[in-house]
Amino acid sequence: MTEEPQQEAAHAPKGFWGSLRNHILHPELTAEQVALSFGLGFSLAWNPLLGLHTAIILLVCLCTRRLHRGILLLACYINNPWTLVPMASFSALCGNVILGRGMHLKLKGIHWHEITWRSFATREGLDVMFVMLKPILIPYLVGGIVMSLVTLPLGYFVMLKVARRLRKAHLHLPHRHPPQPPR
């Protein structure tokens, strides 16, 4: 009895990366389930509907049972306040290229200082903001949808490779073997 807590403490994760590794090595889920969790979350991070990432990912977490919820959330929150502008800019640029408009976004007509919380509070504010953002709105939406579709398989296959490599490297750990179904 006294050996089990000591053995568990010896395999306890150390730091953020150790904890992340243990989430990827989740013993009850296959590498494919972990990869699908990451792929879905990463795809939703590129969703062009700003403000709905959390609602959508929580809905996915509530509706699924065999996906890793922690990795779903972690992958979705790749889109955060620090990465929002680069991701949105890249989505708009991709949409511009897809629509055949080239690599130049038309940002001169946008007066960023005029977009405040009041722009969202009134119908007139929303109308003015929509007219001002119209030149980049369609490229942003198209690019965001395309990036969401592209990042699903990309995130899946990258995480599948990582999960399989980690599982292969950590097979010696006794608590890492998934339970075998009865025969």
Q: For 51-108, what is each residue's pLDDT tens digit? A: 888 899 989 888 888 888 888 988 999 998 899 889 999 999 999 999 998 888 877 7
Task: Categorize the per-residue pLDDT at 10 as very low, low, confident or very high, splitting at 50, 70 and 90.
Answer: very low
If DSSP codes are grouped into helix, strand and coil, which group holds residue 19?
helix
Q: Say what the pLDDT of residue 170 is.
A: 67
Q: Say what the pLDDT of residue 23 is.
A: 58
Token pair of 171 as six digits: 């097979």
Higher-confidence position of 182 and 35: 35
For residues 140 and 96, what is the distance between their CA atoms, to the nearest angstrom? 8
Q: Say what the pLDDT of residue 182 is.
A: 62
DSSP count for the chain of H helices, then E strands: 8, 0
CB 146 within 8 A of CB 94: yes
Q: Say what the pLDDT of residue 180 is.
A: 56
Q: Say what the pLDDT of residue 9 is.
A: 46
Average pLDDT of span 4-15: 53
